[in-house]
């Protein structure tokens, strides 16, 4: 899927890596062209497909984006959802949407990763024995 060129993919991966440097939390980005169901249901499906619920502290965050259908969602696991402010995900989505409305998908995703990383750092600081539990690459799905 040629949604992002190599440089843009590297920019997103670098944002994941930067956010994860300060936290034991795990961030992933999942992209597909179309979303044939409710966007939160679709994001939750991929959350489990990508084994994000299997992190040690249940502190994974998935940013899901369907580019053609212009839908996106952020899913946080039980560990992070139990500690972030109630409006955190909505505020993060709004910050991302400001970039998406301008046609800047990459900056919107990077903004979401940065904000999620700040919350993860606050509640799940980096531990000396931390391991990278999930891939930092973008997960490109086929939209079925």
Counting residues of the chain whose pLDDT is more than 90, the rounded percentage is 63
Q: Which pLDDT tens digit goes with each residue over 22-58?
A: 888 899 999 999 998 999 999 999 999 999 999 888 9
Q: Which pLDDT tens digit goes with each residue over 52-111?
A: 999 888 999 999 999 999 999 999 999 888 888 878 888 899 999 999 999 999 999 999
Look up the pTM and report it. Answer: 0.92
Q: Which pLDDT tens digit goes with each residue over 122-140?
A: 888 887 777 888 888 899 9
Is residue 29 within 8 A of residue 139, CB to CB? The reply is yes
- Residue 117: burial class (beta carbons within 10 Å; 0-12, 13-18, 19+): buried
Domains assigned to the chain: 6-121 (3.10.310.50)
């Amino acid at each position: 899927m040629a949604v992002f060129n190599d440089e843009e993919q590297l920019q997103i991966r670098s944002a994941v890596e930067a956010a994860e440097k300060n936290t034991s939390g795990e961030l992933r980005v999942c992209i597909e062209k179309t979303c044939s169901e409710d966007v939160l249901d679709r994001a939750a499906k991929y959350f489990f497909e990508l084994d994000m619920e299997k992190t040690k502290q249940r502190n994974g965050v998935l940013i899901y984006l369907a580019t053609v259908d212009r839908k996106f969602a952020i899913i946080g696991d039980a560990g992070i959802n139990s500690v972030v402010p109630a409006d955190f995900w909505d505020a993060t989505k709004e910050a991302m949407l400001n970039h998406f409305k301008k046609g800047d998908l990459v900056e919107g995703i990077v903004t979401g990763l940065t904000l999620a990383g700040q919350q993860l750092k606050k509640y799940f600081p980096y531990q000396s024995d931390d391991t990278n539990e999930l891939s930092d690459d973008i997960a490109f799905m086929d939209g079925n």
